[in-house]
Amino acid sequence: MLYIEDAFDQALLVKAFFNALPAFTVLHVQDGDQALDRLGQERWDLIVTDLNLPGADGFTIIRRARALYPTLPILVTTGYTQAHYEEQALRAGADQVMIKPLTQNDFVSRVWAMIEDEDLFEVTDSKVVLAIEGRLGDAEMGCGGTLMRAVEDDATVVIVPILMAEDDASPEELKAASLAADILGVELRVDRTLFGDISGQKDLIERTINELRPTTLYLSAPDDKDPSRSKASAVAAEVSLGVDNVFGFETATSDLGFKPSHFVDIRAQMVLKMEALATYQSLGAARVDLRPRMAQAYARYWGRYRDFTEVEAFQQIRSEGD
């Protein structure tokens, strides 16, 4: 266990608590910079950290630990009693927050519960796929067939739209997006209060990643010419360092430099994908870029890389083992 605490008396107390947890070897460091150095040097089973530290603060440590180890249990112990500190720590990726002064029984029970939850998570090895889009319908068009394949493989699949302005989502588009998600068999999470709020949207993606711990992330390919798509992609890439597999999909405004290297056969999913996209036209959403026949044209164009079948094309941004 890596324990980060600058107050020496508090450190002695917590290390004494660990006498009731004989399975642990505790490494204690007193500043955030040293903790960041140690994070990548070996595999940890648990992180316990204060928030107010010399050098890097606890929030930075949490984010770095979560990026390196997506399922690692992280416990925060802090003297801050204001609710916003706890909320910020949880958004950064902490699993639990304890307010000082600490008691041994509470501390030991919390640690055991977190370790048992981690063991369960490792055993279930569930697959989670997350798609971030800069305009409604982008995920259906760019990776809808691939998302359906993930659903068929018993994965949890979630789409989160990140929009620059409220005008980017008409009532017709919102209704169509909901119906399209039902057709694909995926979950759509829309927070209209955050449209145009980049800071809030960044927090939303970070919270979603920390909650779901996705194994794969899809977003519009880098250098998209549309500002909303480009910003959504950049924000998602920034806060998803802990996701092993990240792929960029094509949109109507993808840069000419879009060079896919990963192709997914979606012949079996093409009919439902076109049905999902058709909801936009059927509800009066004026989106030429979401026409079903355009999706089929994209799929056949890229199919020349996969035995001339119908495929979805992706630009590899990051993959497991990189």
Q: Can you tell me the mean pLDDT for 231-250? A: 91
Residue 117's pLDDT is what?
54
Residue 61's pLDDT is what?
95
Q: Say if residue 122's pLDDT is above 50.
A: no
Cβ–Cβ under 8 Å, residues 243 and 68: no
Please, what are the domains in the chain?
Answer: 2-124 (3.40.50.2300), 128-318 (3.40.50.10320)
Residue 250's pLDDT is what?
95
Q: Can you tell me the mean pLDDT for 209-234? A: 92
Q: Say if residue 270's pLDDT is above 90.
A: yes
Residue 120's pLDDT is what?
38
* Greatest mean pLDDT range, 14-18, 36-40, 60-64: 60-64
CA distance 228 to 289: 15
Q: Whole-number mean pLDDT of the chain?
A: 89
CA distance 159 to 147: 9
Residue 3's pLDDT is what?
94
Residue with tokens 């500002």: 227
Percentage of residues in the chain having pLDDT higher than 70: 95
Q: Say if residue 217's pLDDT is above 80.
A: yes
Residue 126's pLDDT is what?
60
- Band of the pLDDT at 124, cuts 50, 70, 90? very low
- Band of the pLDDT at 119, cuts 50, 70, 90? very low
- Band of the pLDDT at 233, cuts 50, 70, 90? very high
More confident residue, 237 or 123: 237
- Band of the pLDDT at 320, cuts 50, 70, 90? low
Q: Can you tell me the mean pLDDT for 141-165? A: 94
More confident residue, 112 or 215: 215
Q: Say if residue 72's pLDDT is above 70.
A: yes
